[in-house]
Chain A
């Protein structure tokens, strides 16, 4: 069975800028793919080409075996695209809003009401969208994107502008959507979001995909040092340096940090000396992967 989404050698330029510069990847049925990168990396343009909103200069896109460009009304009912939270009809209530979108696809109002329940907006059904909070509006816009039960769902930075509580709620919702068997493609500039949700992550910068794979594999592939910290004074700096000659040891007056590629040995040595006060262990993150790939700090 061919992949749900197949993108091969996509190019798109605006004047001298190569917004998308040779992007290729595939997404399997039921997979959750994250496209990660800073603003201007080309992730939104890539997504818009796949959705059929933009034409590629060259390259090929297949979604569910069909070409999204030019506007393909046979394909459109099978995909769902969540846009910014403001893409609503003026002065309609949440229920009127989702019912209107439902009817565009010939979906009965009952299903629309059920969708409202799924995203937890039943008590806001009669509230006008202008009066919803950021998180509620975001959830409604996702509900509107899912009302016709699409096989493939595209989400463009769905949690930007939400508070931590709102983000967690939305993450749960997105996981559910994926567990129901839908293929989900999401762009984000939050590293933690990609790590928490995605089966695979594509890291983009300057119009190219630098690396693609499961988040854990990307981090492991980095072979980065694990950073073990204890309270300053739990063990002396010189003692630590003698004990762990292969590691980097630093003390900033609050914590003593040992950066090592053999964390097990370090931890047991510290435990033997009863020097685990204030212990914290940090592995590498996607942020380190990004830093390693681009040679610069991640700018969200």
Chain B
């Protein structure tokens, strides 16, 4: 009955867009994260290494001006004559290393407490010593290293966080919508009222799906719109529109999960708690907030079972990594299969009323 579908969708949409709390948590709240992360990491460069020069170190002092200029971008040097105090500051982690010259030896004092920083500073000085030796020997280097990023050179943090945070926002929106509609309508006996009217269950479910997809697309438009302003500078790649089918099947997957959460809850409070318990850890484990590349293998394995991981992966692929439509077919398939299986379980558990 298409008439029922239209009017139920309209009633649901009006209910949503008039609900300030729901609007805040589905649209404004994720957007705040985008502004926050996008702003903090906007001009992100490699952090400088702090080094104390004890006494005179010829390697640093007699450096040609152009090399020194380049070095200043990665190294901050302060000078002291107090060796004991300098070593103490390294020990406390206030600086990354202290360097001194003993005859022809350059001695680099570092702390093992921060392995990443000490490795960086060791690598840096190793390279400085090599370069200095070559220059002293008057040798022209046979090889030169030039590092080049595979992505568009404009790639900034915003490129990574936009698909991730958008995925989280869509997951939250769809999941809460399904869970709360089911529980609130059951509690208020609105489901009973609909059961007494000639509309079918699938009309009610269909209205929920339509409204949630519209909300997800509104979220997407706002997210892309805000991230694209010059201050943040999001640049979408050619097949970004493939994100739309991904968002639609992603919405289906999280609606089904929300329906399942709603089947186990009697009150809106319980439904909210269960939905949060599922969606928040999933966001962390799916790389929605930060990349998973550095995460342990077992965690990566777990994340492969989470629908949000596939939604975020797929959206990153087509929105910013420049991959084509065919590259996200696996993600589309996985999300669709997930939605199918979970919906089937939710339908089996469906109750019109509290027992």
Q: Which residues of A does B touch, CB under 8 Å?
A: 51-53, 71, 73, 76-77, 79, 81, 83-84, 86-92, 96, 99-101, 103-106, 144
* Bound Cα distance from A96 to B192, whole angstroms: 19
* Bound Cα distance from A89 to B189, whole angstroms: 10
* Bound Cα distance from A86 to B4, whole angstroms: 21
Q: Could you name 22 residue pairs across A and B whose Cβ atoms are closer than 8 Å?
A: A52-B196, A53-B192, A53-B196, A53-B352, A73-B200, A77-B197, A83-B192, A84-B189, A87-B189, A89-B12, A89-B14, A89-B190, A91-B14, A91-B18, A91-B19, A92-B11, A92-B15, A96-B11, A99-B7, A100-B8, A104-B8, A104-B199
Instruction: Contacts A83-B193, A84-B189, A103-B7 given; indicate if A77 touches B198 (C-beta within 8 A).
Output: yes
Q: A76-B198, A86-B188, A103-B6 are in contact. List 7 more A-B contacts (CB 8 A).
A: A53-B192, A83-B193, A87-B189, A89-B190, A99-B7, A105-B197, A105-B198
The reply to whether B190 and A104 contact each other, CB–CB distance below 8 Å, is no
Query: For the complex, is B194 an interface residue (Cβ under 8 Å from A)?
Result: yes
Q: Considering the complex, which residues of chain B in the window 113-128 have a beta carbon less than 8 Å from any beta carbon of chain A?
A: none
Q: Which residues of A are found within 8 Å of B68, using beta-carbon distances?
A: none
**B1, B11, B195: residue with the most chain A Cβ atoms closer than 10 Å:** B11
Query: For the complex, is B105 an interface residue (Cβ under 8 Å from A)?
Result: no
Closest 9 CB pairs of A and B: A103-B7, A91-B18, A90-B15, A104-B197, A87-B189, A89-B11, A100-B11, A87-B193, A73-B198
Query: For the complex, is B184 an interface residue (Cβ under 8 Å from A)?
Result: yes
Scan B3-43; emit 1 where CB is below 8 A from any A CB, else 0.
Answer: 11011101110110011000000000000000000000000
Q: Considering the complex, which residues of chain B in the window 167-209 have a beta carbon less than 8 Å from any beta carbon of chain A?
A: 184, 188-190, 192-200
* Bound Cα distance from A153 to B199, whole angstroms: 19
* Bound Cα distance from A96 to B353, whole angstroms: 25
- With beta carbons under 8 angstroms apart, the residue of B6, B19, B196 that contacts A51 is B196
| Distance between A104 CB and nearest chain B CB, rounded to angstroms | 4
**A52, A71, A87: residue with the most chain B Cβ atoms closer than 10 Å:** A87
* Bound Cα distance from A111 to B10, whole angstroms: 19
Q: Which residues of B are found within 8 Å of A77, using beta-carbon distances?
A: 197-198
* Bound Cα distance from A91 to B19, whole angstroms: 8
Q: Considering the complex, which residues of chain B in the window 250-307 have a beta carbon less than 8 Å from any beta carbon of chain A?
A: none
Range, interface on chain B: 20 to 34
Which chain A residue has the least Cβ–Cβ distance from B352?
A53
The reply to whether B3 and A71 contact each other, CB–CB distance below 8 Å, is no
| Distance between B9 CB and nearest chain A CB, rounded to angstroms | 10
| Distance between A219 CB and nearest chain B CB, rounded to angstroms | 35
* Bound Cα distance from A77 to B194, whole angstroms: 12
Q: Which residues of A are found within 8 Å of B192, using beta-carbon distances?
A: 53, 83, 87
- With beta carbons under 8 angstroms apart, the residue of B3, B193, B353 that contacts A106 is B3
The reply to whether A104 and B18 contact each other, CB–CB distance below 8 Å, is no
The reply to whether B19 and A100 contact each other, CB–CB distance below 8 Å, is no
| Distance between A111 CB and nearest chain B CB, rounded to angstroms | 14
Q: Which residues of A are found within 8 Å of B188, using beta-carbon distances?
A: 86-88
- With beta carbons under 8 angstroms apart, the residue of B14, B189, B199 that contacts A83 is B189
Q: Which residues of A are found within 8 Å of B195, using beta-carbon distances?
A: 53, 71
Q: Which residues of B are found within 8 Å of A90, using beta-carbon distances?
A: 15, 19, 184
- With beta carbons under 8 angstroms apart, the residue of A88, A100, A106 that contacts B10 is A100
* Bound Cα distance from A87 to B3, whole angstroms: 21
Q: Which residues of B are found within 8 Å of A88, using beta-carbon distances?
A: 188, 190
* Bound Cα distance from A99 to B14, whole angstroms: 13
* Bound Cα distance from A22 to B190, whole angstroms: 30
Which chain A residue has the least Cβ–Cβ distance from B6?
A103
Q: Which residues of B are found within 8 Å of A91, using beta-carbon distances?
A: 14-15, 18-19
| Distance between B208 CB and nearest chain A CB, rounded to angstroms | 13
* Bound Cα distance from A52 to B15, whole angstroms: 29
The reply to whether B10 and A87 contact each other, CB–CB distance below 8 Å, is no
Q: Which residues of B are found within 8 Å of A101, using beta-carbon distances?
A: 193, 197
* Bound Cα distance from A109 to B353, whole angstroms: 29
Q: Which residues of A are found within 8 Å of B6, using beta-carbon distances?
A: 103
**B188, B193, B200: residue with the most chain A Cβ atoms closer than 10 Å:** B193
| Distance between A115 CB and nearest chain B CB, rounded to angstroms | 15
| Distance between B221 CB and nearest chain A CB, rounded to angstroms | 23
* Bound Cα distance from A100 to B199, whole angstroms: 12
The reply to whether B196 and A81 contact each other, CB–CB distance below 8 Å, is yes
* Bound Cα distance from A104 to B8, whole angstroms: 8
- With beta carbons under 8 angstroms apart, the residue of B7, B18, B198 that contacts A100 is B7
* Bound Cα distance from A101 to B196, whole angstroms: 11
The reply to whether B194 and A104 contact each other, CB–CB distance below 8 Å, is yes
The reply to whether B189 and A104 contact each other, CB–CB distance below 8 Å, is no
* Bound Cα distance from A71 to B196, whole angstroms: 8
Instruction: Contacts A89-B15, A91-B18 given; indicate if A76 touches B7 (C-beta within 8 A).
Output: no
Which chain B residue has the least Cβ–Cβ distance from A80?
B196
Q: Which residues of B are found within 8 Å of A51, using beta-carbon distances?
A: 196
* Bound Cα distance from A230 to B7, whole angstroms: 63
Q: Which residues of A are found within 8 Å of B184, using beta-carbon distances?
A: 90
| Distance between A92 CB and nearest chain B CB, rounded to angstroms | 6
* Bound Cα distance from A227 to B1, whole angstroms: 61
Q: Which residues of B are found within 8 Å of A99, using beta-carbon distances?
A: 7
